[in-house]
Amino acid sequence: MSGASTVPGPDKADLSGLEGLLDVVDSVRVLRYPHETEADEEGQTTEWHCDIVVVDNVPAPGFTTYATVGARELPTNVTTPDGRQIRSEFVTVGRTGHRAMADVLDACALAVATGSIHVAPGAVIPGAVGLVDSGRRCEHLVLTPPFLWPDLQVVDETGGPDGTGPLLTRLQAVPITSAEMSAVARDGADALFELLDSAGADVTNPDRPSVV
């Protein structure tokens, strides 16, 4: 999986905000994806990594939840109306065994790191699925407030241990087709999710038929 390695013990990663998921499972794994920034004007690069928490049988048996930890360190250039920085972590779900969804979440972190998306509900990440898991009908991602995990912390306004940090949000990455991506650009993400809901679409299946 794109050079990812297993972190020796979940205690090596910051799992804050995921407690509502982790207290119902026996084991948690963390995958680490190493990255390097583009060279600056002086030719210097910086190494960084994205950790992905893997929780099997959540939100239900046969499904696996994947969640970033540490993406909150990446600037989003998004602020609250009063100027407070907003940072984001990402979560998604797949059928257990479809491990490429971990790579897909890493693609979300990469999109933030490169500044290629405006990190907010309704934002689309083109090709995030297709680039790491080719051949799927749903090649792209749309971000939305999480809706599959009732105990997941979605917003953390505390500002971290010292209370001075950014506001933290968690966004769900939902695979969508090219036609659905065009529909988001035309009608907005809310309209697409209404279509997905009315069609009873299985958003955990990246090979599902398009609803547009």
What is the pLDDT at residue 164?
80
Q: What is the pLDDT of residue 17?
A: 81
Query: Considering only CA atoms, which of 87, 84, 59, 83 is closest in space to residue 72?
Result: 87
Residue with tokens 């909150």: 72
Cα angle value 87/92/94 (rounded, 5°): 165
Q: How far is residue 192's CA from residue 81's CA, in Å, rounded to a whole number?
A: 27
Burial of residue 94, with CB atoms counted within 10 A of its CB: 0-12 exposed, 13-18 middle, 19 or more buried: buried
One digit per residue, the tens of pLDDT, for the chain of length 212 reads 456 777 655 555 677 788 877 776 767 889 999 988 777 788 888 888 899 999 999 999 999 999 999 899 899 989 999 899 999 999 999 999 888 999 999 999 999 998 889 999 999 999 999 999 999 999 999 999 999 999 899 999 988 777 788 999 999 999 999 999 999 999 999 999 999 999 999 999 999 999 99
Q: What pLDDT is recorded for position 1?
A: 47
